[in-house]
């Protein structure tokens, strides 16, 4: 280890007294440890300091650790930074959620300090600072707080197109509230959250119509419409043709391109 520039670990926990022994163990390794006690402060400090590893509590007021993780994944200078959940939230559902939303590990607060140190050492070794340095092509351009929320919200909605999420649910998942999220979409995209979502669903359906053989009902369910009828109506309003006709035209164009390519090959 380079003791002149030791790894920097950011701990985000609203009750740091619960992990005092664990923090002592981390500092005993010569690592720099910064502790913040609110989720929003954790997001700000992570952007400002670009730590080598982030330890996140899950159950925090106003914004939980999963929302923090979603936001930090959108920060360019934190791409590749390991995020480890260190928490007393030990249900299977919570562990799986943490690991599916960017966490590289999920450790309980009642673990032995030596276990935490061992796991942190592994993640620091697997994601050394040189791997996320600007020389590797990672942009360090700063995003505003609103831009981070916007990117996280769009990523969340794209991943969960099939789910009937409310505006309040989307906002909570990215650590904000409904009116602020609506204002961010209007300011940066010139549209509402659900108008953007509707367009995203139509664009996804276009790809599914061209690239798969799924029937209309399956496509409708895949992108969040309750029925093939609702999907067909929305698609026709946006594209000017029914999804069935759109697929037919796409297939005819593909067949024509294939015949033209075959003719060129034969001529050669």
Pairwise pLDDT comparison (142 vs 138), residue with the higher score: 142
Q: CATH assignment of 191-268?
A: 1.10.10.60
Q: Are 192 and 182 in contact (CB under 8 A)?
A: yes
Tokens found for residue 209: 């119509």
Q: What's the residue count for the chain?
A: 268
Q: Read off the pLDDT band of 128 (50, 70, 90).
A: low
Query: d(Cα 200, Cα 74) in Å, to the nearest integer?
Result: 19
Confidence at residue 207, expressed as pLDDT on a 0 to 100 scale: 94
Tokens found for residue 56: 């996140």
Average confidence (pLDDT) over 166-185: 95
Say whether pLDDT at 67 is over 70.
Answer: yes
Confidence at residue 139, expressed as pLDDT on a 0 to 100 scale: 43
Average confidence (pLDDT) over 152-167: 93
Tokens found for residue 72: 């930090």
Q: Using CA atoms in the order 228, 206, 70, 90, what is the torsion angle rounded to 10 degrees? A: 40
pTM for the whole thing? 0.76
Domain ranges, ordered by start, for the chain: 8-136, 145-185, 191-268
Average confidence (pLDDT) over 84-100: 84
Confidence at residue 133, expressed as pLDDT on a 0 to 100 scale: 42
Among 50-64, 136-150, 221-235, the minimum mean pLDDT is found in 136-150
8-136: CATH architecture: 3-Layer(aba) Sandwich (3.40)
Residues facing 175 on adjacent strands: none
Confidence at residue 103, expressed as pLDDT on a 0 to 100 scale: 86
Say whether pLDDT at 4 is over 60.
Answer: yes
Q: Are 124 and 7 in contact (CB under 8 A)?
A: yes
Q: Read off the pLDDT band of 94 (50, 70, 90).
A: confident
Say whether pLDDT at 41 is over 80.
Answer: yes
Query: d(Cα 144, Cα 108) in Å, to the nearest integer?
Result: 32
Query: d(Cα 104, Cα 22) in Å, to the nearest integer?
Result: 18
């Amino acid at each position: 280890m380079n003791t002149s520039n030791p790894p920097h670990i950011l701990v985000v926990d609203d009750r740091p007294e619960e992990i005092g022994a664990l923090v002592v163990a981390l500092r005993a390794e010569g690592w720099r440890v910064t502790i913040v006690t609110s989720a929003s402060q954790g997001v700000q400090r992570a952007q400002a300091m670009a730590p080598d590893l982030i330890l996140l509590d899950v159950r925090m007021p106003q914004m939980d650790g999963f929302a923090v993780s979603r936001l930090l994944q959108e920060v360019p200078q934190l791409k590749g930074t390991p995020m480890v959940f260190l928490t007393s939230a030990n249900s299977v559902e919570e562990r799986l959620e943490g690991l599916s939303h960017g966490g590289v590990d999920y450790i309980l607060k009642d673990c032995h300090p030596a276990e935490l140190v061992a796991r942190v050492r592994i993640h620091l070794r697997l994601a050394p600072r040189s791997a996320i340095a600007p020389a590797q092509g990672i942009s360090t351009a700063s995003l505003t707080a609103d831009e981070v929320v916007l990117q996280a919200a769009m990523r969340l909605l794209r991943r969960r197109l099939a789910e009937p999420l409310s505006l309040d649910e989307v906002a909570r998942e990215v650590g904000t509230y409904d009116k602020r999220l609506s204002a961010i979409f209007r300011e940066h995209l010139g549209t509402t959250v659900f108008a953007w979502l509707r367009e995203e669903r139509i664009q996804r359906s276009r790809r599914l119509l061209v690239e798969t053989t799924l029937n209309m009902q399956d496509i409708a369910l895949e992108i969040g419409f309750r029925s093939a009828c609702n999907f067909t109506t929305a698609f026709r309003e946006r594209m000017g043709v029914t999804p069935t006709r759109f697929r037919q035209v796409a297939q005819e164009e593909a067949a024509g391109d294939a015949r033209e390519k075959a003719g060129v090959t034969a001529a050669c």
